[in-house]
Amino acid sequence: DAGVTQSPTHLIKTRGQQVTLRCSPKSGHDTVSWYQQALGQGPQFIFQYYEEEERQRGNFPDRFSGHQFPNYSSELNVNALLLGDSALYLCASSFPNVDGGYGYTFGSGTRLTVV
Amino acid sequence: QKEVEQNSGPLSVPEGAIASLNCTYSDRGSQSFFWYRQYSGKSPELIMSIYSNGDKEDGRFTAQLNKASQYVSLLIRDSQPSDSATYLCAVNGRVSGGSNYKLTFGKGTLLTVNP
């Protein structure tokens, strides 16, 4: 049973460029959430996708956008990159558990460096 | 206002000791609570989940939840050098006004176990 797959693993971009990160959720999971984790900080919620729609969004500017495809995979796009966008980007897929909780599975992340 | 707060750390314990990690949260409607372990440069790894008040034990790990006090903790018994990592508390709470849930993380506590 494949877990969450993220690509690429590492990426170096120049300020002002655009980047697309990809995520394939765990089999059976229909919800994908994206997180940004800066060095020394906990993961910060960017947005969540369900049924191909953005269901909720954290405190991130419109430069951050996303998409979910019919197979539940997802993309995170960041435009006009800033140095401060350098971080580990994590994708988590989830599905309600039978006990009322939620099971979240994280991918290995994409390390984005903006120079 | 921070939604999930952890004891700031860093925390240093000798090998074989008990490490105690604490977390408080602000959303009384939160349903599920998680502890993740994160090694430097890696993605978070789920080590414990807890949904009901009381204690939950899994090997050397014990999670404790007190919803009235909005408090969750993690005890690591017989700490090993391999337990040295950042421990993230995460809370799955309902997004205000809706039926959706969001996983919110604390900043993390760096634990060092000294041989």
Residues 55-84 of A with CB under 8 A from B: 55-56
pLDDT at A97: 60
**Best CA proximity match to A112, nearest among A59, A35, A29:** A35
Cβ contacts of A43 on chain B, cutoff 8 Å: 44, 88, 105
pLDDT tens-place string over residues B4-35: 999 878 999 999 999 999 999 998 888 889 99
- The pLDDT value recorded for residue A84 is 97
Q: For residues A105 and A26, is the Cβ–Cβ distance under 8 A?
A: yes
Tell me the chain B residues in contact with residue A41 when contact means C-beta distances shorter than 8 Å: 107-108
Of A43, A101, A111, the CB nearest to B105: A43
Q: What is the residue-level pLDDT of chain A in tens, covering all 115 positions? A: 569 999 999 999 999 999 999 999 998 888 899 999 999 899 999 999 988 999 889 999 999 999 999 999 999 999 999 999 999 999 999 876 655 566 788 999 999 999 9
Q: Which pLDDT belongs to residue A41?
A: 92
* CB nearest to A100's CB, from B31, B42, B90: B31
Nearest CB among A56, A88, A107 relative to B102 is that of A56
Q: What is the pLDDT of residue B31?
A: 82
The amino acid at residue A69 is F
A43 shares contact with chain B (CB less than 8 Å): yes
* Residue A32: both structure tokens together: 């994908």
Q: Maximum distance among all alpha carbons in chain B? A: 49
Q: What are phi and psi of A85, to 5 degrees?
A: -80, -5
pLDDT of residue A102: 67
Nearest-Cα residue of chain A relative to residue B30:
A101
Query: For chain A, what's the residue count?
Result: 115
pLDDT value of position B1: 52
Interchain pair A102, B42: CB under 8 A? no
The predicted-structure confidence for B42-98, as pLDDT tens digits, reads as follows 999 999 999 999 999 999 999 999 999 999 999 999 999 999 999 999 998 776 555
Asked if residues A23 and A108 have their Cβ atoms less than 8 Å apart, the reply is no
User: How many other β-carbons are positioned within 10 Å of the β-carbon of residue B43?
Assistant: 21
